[in-house]
Amino acid sequence: AQTVTQSQPEMSVQEAETVTLSCTYDTSESDYYLFWYKQPPSRQMILVIRQEAYKQQNATENRFSVNFQKAAKSFSLKISDSQLGDAAMYFCAYRSTGNQFYFGTGTSLTVIP
Amino acid sequence: GAVVSQHPSRVICKSGTSVKIECRSLDFQATTMFWYRQFPKQSLMLMATSNEGSKATYEQGVEKDKFLINHASLTLSTLTVTSAHPEDSSFYICSAIRTSLNEQFFGPGTRLTVL
């Protein structure tokens, strides 16, 4: 089975600054999707950004961007101009060819005013 | 965006009873839905894949006789926790794949407490 590893249980960032959350994964598949989800205290999972493995270009969504290194099996999330509303748990996820999702252990992000 | 609902949002039951949780895709048809379990301050653990019209596929270590899944229609999947015990207390989240968008949408979750 695929494994997803987030090595940073907690991170903090000053408001308006930039923070990078790390994620690595292990797979033998060549075609897959990677995701970052945000889970605020409400527990509702919210899609932040996704990356298709066959695309070399890193995905970007407004203040959120990824650094996808396929050979290294690394998929980090960069949050620019951090806002108080960005505070949440962030989960990295892998979607297999069978459409199953596997999640990392999460990174709790604190935004300091 | 697409909406997935879960009912109930919270349930408290006595040990030994069964509890049913519903997951509905409100504005799209979902041939595949997923059920996850999340312990406090931990990640989502995939329990099973629910396929409309066929048997669910369970992840290793998940008891299929304890966690009964029925995907009777293209908009509804149910998870029944049978003979619930306190260790089954957890947050259960469902999700549905919207094929046209190639995206997964999550329900708001159900908190189960077994006394």
B60·A105 Cβ contact <8 A: no
Give the whole-angstrom CA distance, residue B4 versus residue B26.
6
How many beta-carbon pairs below 8 A join chains A and B? 43
B38: nearest CA partner in chain A: A43
Is B39's pLDDT higher than 90?
Answer: no
Residue B1's pLDDT is what? Answer: 61
Residue A9's pLDDT is what? Answer: 95
Percent of chain A with pLDDT over 90: 82
Percent of chain A with pLDDT over 70: 99
What residues are paired with B45 via a beta bridge? B37
Q: Does B8 touch chain A (CB under 8 A)?
A: no
Give the whole-angstrom CA distance, residue B44 versus residue B35.
9
A1·B60 Cβ contact <8 A: yes
Q: Which residue has the tokens 């619930």?
A: B84
Copy the structure tokens of residue B62.
């998940």
Average confidence (pLDDT) over B50-70:
92
Average confidence (pLDDT) over B30-34:
90
At A66-113, the pLDDT tens digits run 999 999 999 999 999 999 999 999 999 999 877 788 999 999 999 999
Residue A23's pLDDT is what? Answer: 98
Q: Does A102 touch chain B (CB under 8 A)?
A: yes
Q: Does A1 touch chain B (CB under 8 A)?
A: yes
d(CA B92, nearest CA chain A) in Å:
11
B49: nearest CA partner in chain A: A100
